Amino acid sequence: MPQTIIVSNRLPTKVQRTDDSLSFQPSEGGLATGLGSIYRQEGNMWVGWPGLFVQDEAEEQYVTEQLSADSMAPVFLTEAEIRDFYEGFSNSTLWPTFHYFTQFATYEQTHWDAYVAVNEKFCAAVLAHAGPEDTIWVHDYQLLLLPEMLRRARPEATIGFFLHIPFPSYELIRVLPWRSELLRGMLGADLIGFHTFGYMRHFLSAVSQVLGLPAQNGQIEVEQRAVRVDAFPMGIDYDRYAAAADSDAARQHEAAYREVLRDTRVILSIDRLDYTKGIAQRLRAFELLLARYPEWREQVSLIMLVVPSRDQVAQYASLKEEIDELVGRINAQFRTITWTPIHYFYRSLPLEELASLYRLAEVALVTPMRDGMNLVAKEFIASKADQRGVLILSERAGAARELSDALIINPTDTNQLTEAMHDALVMPEEEQRQRMTAMQALVRRYNVFSWTRLFLNQLTYTKMKQQTLATE
């Protein structure tokens, strides 16, 4: 019976070195939850990088054994590959370009060479497990070349590809020296999925303009193979977030924070450290709120959680400094003995504590400059059992296509963002409930499980149709 193999740069388990032992932490990420019930089924597996540099063969063998007991096959990266493939081409070329930050993008031949080599390494790892007719589902921008590499080795395989970040306009794609190779790499798949129709349209336009391959009804013909392209907005495990927010642990944390905050109202901001997230712009808008509406001083605090990420990449390190400086300045200017304007945490928090912050917050600020989807917006919604709370959402997050009942803003417009915070704080409860109820219905229904099902069903259907056409 054909098997399903999931491939992503990161495995759903993070292996970490603490002193001289290794710890295995399951990832809380959306993808891990959504695909958890699939890759653990008999014969299926997940291929990816365990997130650490192994010191010797004995350690490599130990990690491999531990992970394979839970249906995972690790791909180990050398220090040079972590530098040139992960920090280099993936996160200093593709990430900034696909998020419209070309000013941060670098174009290094050595990074490209490492990107090709690591995609080949992933290909070899998949082939070691995949039979000729298996289903292989490849994820995200670190592995754009992999579908085509797999196709060459396994012409009959069913291959899906999903991009978790935005696919930008052709004008951005054309800047990349390796644009043709990257697009051809993706086209090795039978089905290519994006979060929104906008990203999908950009992809079709890039394929037509760069490769001269026209699309018809969401289908591109590549070497007599029909490649299907479609939008699949990703969701979350709604019940898991709703249950976490309703748990005793979350209530206890909330009560403890409430004691310190007293009746101060809370605006919440949660992100990975990233220049795409608009964190500095958000801080400036909060500063303007306190300056423009003095009545909110001592009444409202911003709780801001920034989760450390990619700190070896220069732009991330300098963003961290900018945030530290801004928070310091705003707090110094406005704070009183009994009130702190911004409570800033630079770390990751366990689910129950996150859930307690979602409970505590009346307003969530999800205001990225660009974001493929943004699941924090959906987690906040799932956590609001009493249907109170206001989501302020950037029009440039994929989630804005679905969550039209949020207060939708342009994140570069500081004025608009400040006014949205004010509007959210004075919004009548009835209006909050109406908006939240509508968004909850949508987020509950289009969850991560229906997303997985939809993609895999469409992939099977696409393959079946191809085979029928081939035999006609």
List of residues contacting ligand G6P (CB under 6 A): 9-10, 140, 164-165, 309-310
Torsion, Cα 81 141 403 394, to 10 degrees, reads 60
> Which one, 277 or 384, has the nearer CB to ligand G6P?
277
Look up residue 327 and give its amino acid.
V
Range 463-471 contact pairs with CB under 8 angstroms and sequence separation of 24 or more: 463/158, 463/190, 465/226, 466/190, 466/225, 466/226, 469/226
C-beta of 399: minimal distance to ligand G6P in Å?
13
> Which one, 63 or 138, has the nearer CB to ligand G6P?
138
Query: How many C-beta atoms lie closer than 10 Å to residue 472's C-beta?
Result: 5
The number of C-alpha atoms within 13 Å of 209 and in the hemisphere containing its C-beta is: 14
- DSSP state, 336? B
> Which one, 5 or 290, has the nearer CB to ligand G6P?
5
C-beta of 285: minimal distance to ligand G6P in Å?
24
C-beta of 87: minimal distance to ligand G6P in Å?
9
315 close to 275: Cβ distance less than 8 angstroms: yes
> Which one, 16 or 41, has the nearer CB to ligand G6P?
16
C-beta of 455: minimal distance to ligand G6P in Å?
16
d(CA 166, CA 197): 11
> Which one, 310 or 444, has the nearer CB to ligand G6P?
310
d(CA 271, CA 243): 21
Look up residue 82 and give its amino acid.
I
> Which one, 295 or 311, has the nearer CB to ligand G6P?
311
C-beta of 294: minimal distance to ligand G6P in Å?
38
311 close to 92: Cβ distance less than 8 angstroms: no
> Which one, 371 or 402, has the nearer CB to ligand G6P?
371
30 close to 237: Cβ distance less than 8 angstroms: yes
Strand pairing partners for 160?
A: 137, 191
Strand pairing partners for 21?
A: 18
Nearest to 359 by CA among 248, 193, 230: 248
In the complex, residue closest to ligand G6P by CB: 164
C-beta of 310: minimal distance to ligand G6P in Å?
5
> Which one, 164 or 444, has the nearer CB to ligand G6P?
164
C-beta of 459: minimal distance to ligand G6P in Å?
20
C-beta of 317: minimal distance to ligand G6P in Å?
14
**Residue 350: Cβ-neighbour burial (10 angstroms; 0-12, 13-18, 19+):** exposed
d(CA 109, CA 182): 14
Query: How many C-beta atoms lie closer than 10 Å to residue 36's C-beta?
Result: 19
> Which one, 165 or 366, has the nearer CB to ligand G6P?
165
C-beta of 372: minimal distance to ligand G6P in Å?
6
> Which one, 273 or 285, has the nearer CB to ligand G6P?
273
- DSSP state, 106? -
232 close to 193: Cβ distance less than 8 angstroms: yes
Strands (E), 254-299: 265-272
C-beta of 67: minimal distance to ligand G6P in Å?
17
